[in-house]
Structure 1
Amino acid sequence: MNPVLRSFQHAALALLAVFALQSTAQAAGKPGIQEHTANVNGVSLHYLQAGQGKREPVILLHGYAETSHMWRPLMPQLADRHVVIAPDLRGAGQSSKPDSGYDKKTLAQDIHALVQSLGYRKVKIVGHDIGLMVAYAYAAQYPDEVQSIVLMDAFLPGVGDWTHVWLLRDLWHFHFYGETPLKLVDGRERIYFEHFWNDFAADRNHSIPEADRQFYASEYARPGGMRAGFEYFKNFEQDAKDFAGFAQTPLHMPMLVLSGEKAGGQFLIDQGKLVDTHVQGVIIKGSGHWLMEEAPEQTMPALVAFLNR
């Protein structure tokens, strides 16, 4: 081979190698979803974080039978404009599981303490299921520190005619706590959760994916996990009293309510209008309770558009 040509090829290969190394380094340095732990308000909270945006941080709060893991598909879609934080609530996932503090007012204080510890004052907050109750309790306690709020399919205890909500058809599990229930679900966590994942979905075959079911069952099987989960429901009586009081002072920040056509439907939207003066309601067509998993093509664009406004 011509020596000049050989030298040119070697130089080209060397240049390509440099470009490849730079691309690899950039990919490795690209911010993804990171895991952290913070000790706040007397508890240890595990949380996911992504993004470096300059707008208000977005706080994502999960519901029962799930953890912060549920938000992983959404977080990258918001991370270009916001810091996105998804905690495991007190009692769930890798967060600590104390004996008390499972009323939603206290759970919201946990999240507020986390936000303050990270140096943020004003946030946008999103909650699904139990998480929407925590999101509302956060906004009600710290209204000047919430830019906007999203409530996703469940209900607000103590607000309006709340005892007739669709999800209350399974009232038994709100009283399912104590020694005997804990013994019944020990080692059978997945059997218990299958009821929620299947029966609260519009189609049980198009609900929580199998890999996620395995993950959530193992997370709640951590020591104290099921007991803590039962406490979320055990505290509804106190939540109803707290929320009835909160509702006496309406919120004024923009509120988006997403409700499954085959689940909460119009009910949660009407509840939202009882507690906030600036409500946008969207029915997620064909979906049951698990909006993120059953109808991501409707749910995630609605969330991104509202939070990026």
Structure 2
Amino acid sequence: MAYVTRPGASAPTPDLPGVDHDWVRVDDITVHVASSGAQGTPVVLLHGFPEHWGEWRQVIGPLSPQHRVICPDLRGAGWTDAARSGYRRRRLTRDVLRLLDALGLERVHLVAHDWSALVAFGLAMEHPERVETLVAMSMPHPYARVTPAMLASAPNTAYQLPLAIPGLGARLLSRGRQPLARYLFGHFSTPGTWTEKDLAIFLAPLTDRDRAATAGPLYRGFIQRELLRVFSGAYRSTPLHPPTLVLVGEHDPVVRADVLARQTGPAGHLEVREVAGAAHFIVDEQPGQVLAQITDFLAAHSGPSTGGISA
């Protein structure tokens, strides 16, 4: 895989044939955006932790003939600025909204994995006019409730404790063999998912201590708080207007598709589907299945008005 270097960056970003790289100023940060496909309805792909835009490396190409595909690195991740603050619900949602504005995108198909799915749900509920469809992966939807099965899976979330401790999480993510990052990739995926070359794509940016240090504020300030809001019922009366598909891996150690499918709320169209043979990192584990689910759902729910604010 080739690499693209931005002046001042600690490591070059991976490059793929047909993918362009731009840096866009959004409020207090400069956002790295990988994109492909000049025409077609826009699809914005938001990555999870501890990945970056490269999570979508196996689906960008197949999507680009029919869509303008946009893969930003979110605040603190990849080659976007590692700001010391801003890892709260309102700011993270605003980051995506302001990026859409900067790119001239009035209405998009939104695809999100892991913690960015929580951002995507918030954007879809607060600004439904900007979201044509939503595909969320490996994360409970806003109407989820705590179940005995979920409580039984709690030991699988123990990694959040060292990750959230100031200083400790950054050291475990960035130093030596980067044990915490390697644990996350190994424990939450099916065997054989990763080669050392694959892992290097995601481990390299984390060797930057400042970047690794953003994981703590992200978990403390957003992920843990937002999941608490979900499970306490904060959104159970909030409509989710865009057609929404939730994808969950068959072997996900925390989230279960059959449980989420029974927990519904005031959504106009909410489907939950299981991805066979996958755990948490479903895009990396089963890219063909995920691609098929995305393309089928977008085709079934696309409207005539998607596109940019201006030509």
Q: TM-score range by the shorter chain?
A: 0.7 to 0.9
Aligned match for 1:140, one of 125, 128, 149 = 125
Aligned match for 1:99, one of 84, 89, 92 = 84
RMSD after superposition: 2.5
Label 1:267 to 1:99 Cα distance change in 2 as closer, same or farther (>3 A).
farther
Which residue is equivalent to 1:60? 45
For residues 71-105 of structure 1, give each alpha carbon's deviation from its aligned partner in whole angstroms, at most 9, with x where no partner exists.
12211222122211111010101111112211244
CA shift for structure 1 position 152? 0.7
CA shift for structure 1 position 162? 7.4
Q: Moved runs in structure 1, 4+ residues, more than 6 A?
A: none
Alignment of structure 1 residues 234-253 onto 2, 5 Å = 234-235=220-221, 236-240=223-227, 243=230, 244-253=233-242
Aligned match for 1:302, one of 276, 283, 293 = 293
Label 1:61 to 1:184 Cα distance change in 2 as closer, same or farther (>3 A).
closer
Question: Aligned to 1:83, what secondary structure does the other structure show?
Answer: strand
Label 1:183 to 1:209 Cα distance change in 2 as closer, same or farther (>3 A).
closer
Whose Rg is larger?
Answer: 1
TM-score by length of 2: 0.80
* Higher RCO, Cα 8 Å, sep 6+: 2
Aligned match for 2:30, one of 44, 63, 80 = 44
For residues 92-149 of structure 1, give each alpha carbon's deviation from its aligned partner in whole angstroms, at most 9, with x where no partner exists.
0111111221124421210110111111111110111112112112112211211100
* 126-135 or 293-302: bigger deviation: 293-302
Question: Aligned to 1:44, what secondary structure does the other structure show?
Answer: strand
CA contact (8 A) 1:153 1:268 kept: no
Which residue is equivalent to 1:231? 217
Would you tell me which structure has more strand in proportion to its own residues?
A: 2
Q: Which AA in structure 2 matches 1:80?
A: P
CA shift for structure 1 position 228? 0.7
CA shift for structure 1 position 274? 3.2
Within the alignment, does 1:187 sit opposite 2:178 as a pair?
A: no
The alignment-based identity, stated in percent, is 24
Aligned match for 2:261, one of 264, 270, 291 = 270
For residues 187-235 of structure 1, give each alpha carbon's deviation from its aligned partner in whole angstroms, at most 9, with x where no partner exists.
23632112111111232xx223321201211112224111112222112
The whole-number CA distance in structure 2 between the counterparts of 1:61 and 1:148 is 14
The whole-number CA distance in structure 1 between the counterparts of 2:79 and 2:177 is 16
Label 1:258 to 1:184 Cα distance change in 2 as closer, same or farther (>3 A).
closer
Q: Which AA in structure 2 matches 1:99?
A: R
State the aligned residue count. Answer: 276
Question: Aligned to 2:118, what secondary structure does the other structure show?
Answer: helix
For residues 228-270 of structure 1, give each alpha carbon's deviation from its aligned partner in whole angstroms, at most 9, with x where no partner exists.
1222211234324655444431112211111101112326743
Question: Aligned to 1:121, what secondary structure does the other structure show?
Answer: strand
Would you tell me which structure has more helix in proportion to its own residues?
A: 1
The whole-number CA distance in structure 1 between the counterparts of 2:280 and 2:236 is 24
Which residue is equivalent to 1:22? none
Within the alignment, does 1:178 sit opposite 2:166 as a pair?
A: yes
The whole-number CA distance in structure 2 between the counterparts of 1:75 and 1:160 is 33
CA shift for structure 1 position 286? 1.9
Aligned match for 1:33, one of 13, 16, 19 = 19
